[in-house]
Amino acid sequence: MKAIIFATDQAPELNDLTQNQPSPLLPVLDRPFIQHIVEYLVERGFTDFEIVLNHMPEKIESLLGDGTRWGSQIRYHLTRTIETPYNLLKVLSFPDEEGPYLLAHADMLPHVDLMALRPDSQTSVRCIDVVPDKGSDQQIWSGWAWVSGRVLAHVPIDMKRNELGQHLVLQESVLMPPVKTDSYLALQDPETLVESQLKMFSGEGPDLLLRHREQEEGVWLSRNVSLHPTARIRPPVYIAENCKIGPHAEIGPNVSVGSNSMLDGGCVLSNAVVFSGSYVGEGLEVQDGIVDRNQLFSLRLGTSVTLAEDFILGNLSEGRFKVWWGNQMNRLLAGLMLIICSPILVMTAVCLKLFRKGPVFYSQNVISLPARSERDLKQTFSLLSFVSPSDLKTRTKWTGLQDFLMRFLPGLISVVAGHLRTVGVESLTPTALSSMDNSWKSLYIKTHGGLISESFVYFGKNPTSDERYAAESYYHVKAGFWHNLQLLAKYFVCILNPFFNKA
């Protein structure tokens, strides 16, 4: 069976949440909404999908691929117009004029028995309507319908969604009126996003499977979740992988936390969604809201606020003397390590000179941090290592000892010179910084650069962008003598760990 899914962004109410991703990729509990839809249809026997895209199509294609992992085939089509994408129906193939084919939109998933509603060859269309409020007589088209190939091939050009719904109703047989339901998931505004989450928790929506088991009634915890013993969880709550929950945090009810997120001590969340890679600062209270990194959307006020990260995460202003003293201590520590390890550094250089082609040392111009102005972003220095910049990007198979010998030891020279610290955020080139998201960039440039980063210690040698953002947000708040010392100790544990190359 074939399904045609329109995954174009049509809801202006979601514009504040779709700066970095298209709305079909917004999460409902453990996965993006469009993935819920595809898997829901696969379970009902659909093997052929035509997906129409518009905003950031490459991200949806990257998520779903060609459908092989579900034993299905997915083809993508790009439309220039968001409001009138149905002209693409003219170029799709409908070899069976009777069909029927499933027409769907990726902002809603009605809870109905799709296969029982499938019309016979005598009927051209069967629409599915939803009732927005229980007990109400009002009903609207869900964007879902069984439609024959003959009708789809003759849909008028430049038709909008509500016009298409009215057009399909006129094609219906009197014997097959629209079916209506008050049970559905929707992604048409921030309110319906949070409501859909609650419906999944309570079992009111479509029967969708979560990846992870309940640890206790109403509490889903994924792998590698660090939960402080004093944190309080009030079900229903879903926490994805690689999340950290601080002391005395109160999470729930009706809260989902995306992967690689960190909730600091004393924060309070209820009826909220936290997107992947977000940091909720110490003592911050989020009720009836959505957190997307440095953006907070209030459901009660119906508005979003983009806050500077150091405001959300706390004021970390440092005095000049404290900064100077920290730099001197870092240079002293790096100098001592360089003196102690100088025989190892020399032996490594000699071995590379004898047994490897090419130069012994490589240098890469990286930005000097922190930067307080655009002028500061032009200040760069040469960071030395025993490997080329291209090889640094593909160090997945490195062991911790290789990282220490090839990158850390030669990098100590830059620390002694005062260009960066032993512990900080990963040093980037101006080109890499220019491609960074603005909200991430504003956080990054305010933080000290270092040879050892939070993301390297906790997420391995090649962290994802979400993992890096979460780690750098957390470090931006926690950076200090004891936290840096802790990261330094964990780095040396990684060096001695023979399984670190599997991180």
Task: Calculate the average pLDDT of the chain.
Answer: 84
454 has pLDDT over 70: yes
Predicted local distance difference test score (pLDDT) of residue 186? 92
For 394-444, what is each residue's pLDDT tens digit? 655 567 788 888 999 999 999 998 888 999 998 888 888 888 877 678 778
- Contacts for 131 with CB less than 8 Å, ≥ 6 apart: 138, 139, 180, 181, 182
CATH code of domain 2-186: 3.90.550.10
pLDDT band at 317 (very low <50, low <70, confident <90, very high): very low
For 261-273, the pLDDT digits (tens) are 889 889 999 999 9
For the stretch 136-171, pLDDT in tens is 678 889 999 998 888 888 888 788 888 888 888 887
Domain with CATH 2.160.10 in the chain: 210-307
Q: Is the pLDDT of residue 316 over 50?
A: no
β-partners of residue 298 are 289, 303
Reported as a single tens digit per residue, the pLDDT across 254-313 is: 999 998 888 988 999 999 999 988 888 888 899 999 998 778 888 888 887 766 544 443
Q: Which residue has the tokens 């080109």?
A: 431
CATH topology for 210-307 is UDP N-Acetylglucosamine Acyltransferase; domain 1 (2.160.10)
Interstrand relation of 184-186 and 226-227 (parallel, antiparallel or unpaired) = unpaired
Grouping H, G, I as helix, E, B as strand and the rest as coil, residue 379 is coil
Residue closest to 424 by CA, chosen among 437, 436, 414 = 414
Q: Where in the chain is the domain with CATH 3.90.550.10?
A: 2-186
pLDDT at 308: 52
Task: Tell me the pLDDT tens digit for each residue of 16-30.
Answer: 787 778 999 999 988
Per-residue pLDDT at 206 = 75
pLDDT at 36: 93
CA–CA dist 446, 145 (Å, integer): 52
Taking the C-alpha atoms of residue 261 and residue 277, their distance in angstroms, rounded to an integer, is 5
Q: What is the dihedral of CA 175, 180, 181, 187, to 10 degrees?
A: 130
| Residue 67: pLDDT over 90 | yes
DSSP string covering 43-78, please?
TTT--EEEEEE-SSHHHHHHHHTTSGGGT-EEEEEE
